[in-house]
Chains A and B, each alone.
Chain A
Amino acid sequence: MTNIDKQHLIKRENLNRAQYFRSVLQEARRLNLLTDSEFNNIKMQTMQLLARQAERYTGGDSSSIKEETAQGIMQSVFYSIDVCLKSFPDADMSIGELKHKPLAELYRQGKKLVEAQLEYTKQMYNEIRNNCIATDNCAYNDTIQSAIPAFFSAYDVEFAAHDTPASIDYPLSNDKMELTGIEYIHDYLQKLLLENRFCKNFSNHDINSLLRGYDVHYQDLLINIFGLVLTNTIGCILAEKSVLKLDIQPFDKQYLQQKLVNMTKEQLDTILQDASEQLFKEFKISDRLLQNHITATALDFSPRIKNALGNNRLESVFISLKEKHPQGVVEFEDGRKMDDELFRRIADEVRQCRYTSDKIAIIKREIHSMTDLVDILEGSCLLGDEFSEVFQYLGDMELAWLLTKLPADTADADLHYTENEKDWHARLDNFLKEMNLSRRESIFLHYKNFLC
């Protein structure tokens, strides 16, 4: 028996989800589903609705408002109408409602839906906050702890429903950036909840070791934790290992390289699809949304894996876990930092010295903390070769500590550091390059311990 699908006059694919009301009207006009008088009637009702909202906005105190304000209010009105129209099963029904119901009524219904979605999203947020991954990644923590609550307190359903007053840094694996307002936050939190739920299958220790394996500075990176965890999980399935291990060792990568290198893109997609389905069984994932999210993310890996196989660089996709303290713990305790007034006096004294030996003598005598030493390096106190003479006098441990202050990514250095900072970073770098190999290795060993 063949299925009979209802044919719609307005095709969903011709509509813009972000400007639904306007695109429904445009399509209806194009297909002659609205007469001129009906269209003008809707337009007039829009203006009356806008006038009423503007009056509410000024509280009746002002008969006029700025154009930008009016545009903001109008977008907010359109947003609520969009939400109402999108709640109907198809666009043809939306046109029927627009023809027969007052626009103000549709706006009121839309606003109620927005308010309901806001309440539901708040509940979802509470669930996320109570079950988030314990990690040091700043973007993840800041987004959950600060950005989302800031959105809830700043969101204005009445006059700025279309606005998304939140600074969300943490990237999702599949983010619908075209949505705005509460629809965006709802979609974002829904996916974050799914991602967290999946990551809860692994211990926080394993997840953090994976992130450390990706980059030792993972705390400051804008990375999607779920994406990395899922990649390794799928890697484990392909390498026929237990999925709970999460770890892909170099010999696993060699095996995967041999297994996958000759596959076409279609074969790779199929194998990733099969791996996703095996994953659903292993973790008993029955939630359709999570299944779709995993499959969509897994298929996104395909070009990356293909590329990595071509370059024999599978380690850039599948990551080996890295423990926190592989070479023992180094605990650094800085000396007492001097007060600002005294520091200024000493810095002036150093600047006025004619000979480098005098400068070094003052630094030796007065500076007892690394923080003060960095301030001296950045404080225009030393010139030219004087830097290397000061570095000469420092021990391996002190140099290793200074090395931790150097930017990890030199591309960012121009943006985030002052000229004085860049100057001493470059001089320390040169100093280390000119040093003998054995001492340099010892300094780098201390440096690695500091990073752990």
Chain B
Amino acid sequence: MGNELMLLFNDMINKPAVSEIINCNIITLRFGLALSAAEALELIETRAAALRSNGRIEFGAGIINKLIMKFCDSPFLSQHNYAATLHDLIETFYYFKNETLDEISDDELISLMKKYFDQNCQGSIELLQNRELELLARNIRYGVTDYANLCEDAEESIDEENYYD
């Protein structure tokens, strides 16, 4: 009943309903963004795949709605890239939950993702994944107190080569 239970878990418990995601449209429409039922279903599938590939199990309501509500006012989202960006954000979120060693909460990670996406990355998901969040994860792993400050000249920034000296 051990591993079998783990496999069943993501399918049986707290599977987000398509209707819950569609309901977000009421708010996102103010920003000209909406998801169809088919797109909502695809997002749920992406979430399940991301959880599996990152070796995680979800117990709460899930983070799709949280990501939608946080990112809907981004100036870099429009209807044509909305769904695709959400897919990328879901994968990125679970990947960096692992990379940050579960040291920061869901809400904090989503807020930081939004901040970097809008400011430092100017809407580029590649920069968000490969530069900003990598730096954030590294700061957290090395125990930097002001880990969210990603400036190059941040006082506490880590020189990995000298870290073990």
Asked if residues B1 and A66 are in contact (CB atoms below 8 Å), the reply is: no
Asked if residues B55 and A65 are in contact (CB atoms below 8 Å), the reply is: no
Asked if residues A62 and B106 are in contact (CB atoms below 8 Å), the reply is: yes
Chain A facing B: main interface SS: helix
Indicate if B164 sits at the interface (CB-CB under 8 A): no
List of B residues within 8 angstroms of A51 by Cβ? 13-14, 59
Asked if residues A70 and B60 are in contact (CB atoms below 8 Å), the reply is: no
Indicate if B20 sits at the interface (CB-CB under 8 A): no
List of A residues within 8 angstroms of B3 by Cβ? 71
Asked if residues B6 and A70 are in contact (CB atoms below 8 Å), the reply is: yes
Indicate if A46 sits at the interface (CB-CB under 8 A): yes
Indicate if B58 sits at the interface (CB-CB under 8 A): yes
Indicate if B154 sits at the interface (CB-CB under 8 A): no
A60-81 CB contact bits vs B (8 Å, 1 = yes)?
Answer: 0111111111110010000000
Of A64, A70, A71, most B-chain CB atoms within 10 Å: A64
B interface, size bucket? 20 to 34
Indicate if A22 sits at the interface (CB-CB under 8 A): yes
Indicate if A25 sits at the interface (CB-CB under 8 A): yes
Nearest A residue (CB) for B14: A51
A48 to B5, CA, bound (A): 11
Nearest B residue (CB) for A70: B57
A58 to B109, CA, bound (A): 15
A255 to B41, CA, bound (A): 87
Asked if residues A61 and B6 are in contact (CB atoms below 8 Å), the reply is: no
Candidates B51, B58, B105; contact of A61 at CB < 8 Å? B105
Given A47-B8, A47-B12, A51-B13: A63 and B61 interface contact (C-beta under 8 Å): yes
Asked if residues A43 and B102 are in contact (CB atoms below 8 Å), the reply is: no
Asked if residues B60 and A63 are in contact (CB atoms below 8 Å), the reply is: yes
A204 to B102, CA, bound (A): 53
Of B6, B13, B55, B59, most A-chain CB atoms within 10 Å: B59
List of B residues within 8 angstroms of A46 by Cβ? 1, 5
B residues in contact (CB < 8 Å) with A: 1-3, 5-6, 8-9, 12-14, 51, 55-63, 94, 97-98, 102, 105-107
**28 pairs of residues in contact across A and B, judged by CB atoms under 8 Å:** A22-B1, A43-B5, A43-B8, A46-B5, A47-B13, A48-B13, A50-B59, A51-B13, A51-B14, A51-B59, A54-B57, A58-B102, A61-B107, A62-B60, A62-B102, A63-B58, A63-B61, A64-B60, A64-B97, A65-B102, A66-B56, A66-B102, A67-B6, A67-B57, A69-B102, A71-B3, A71-B6, A74-B2
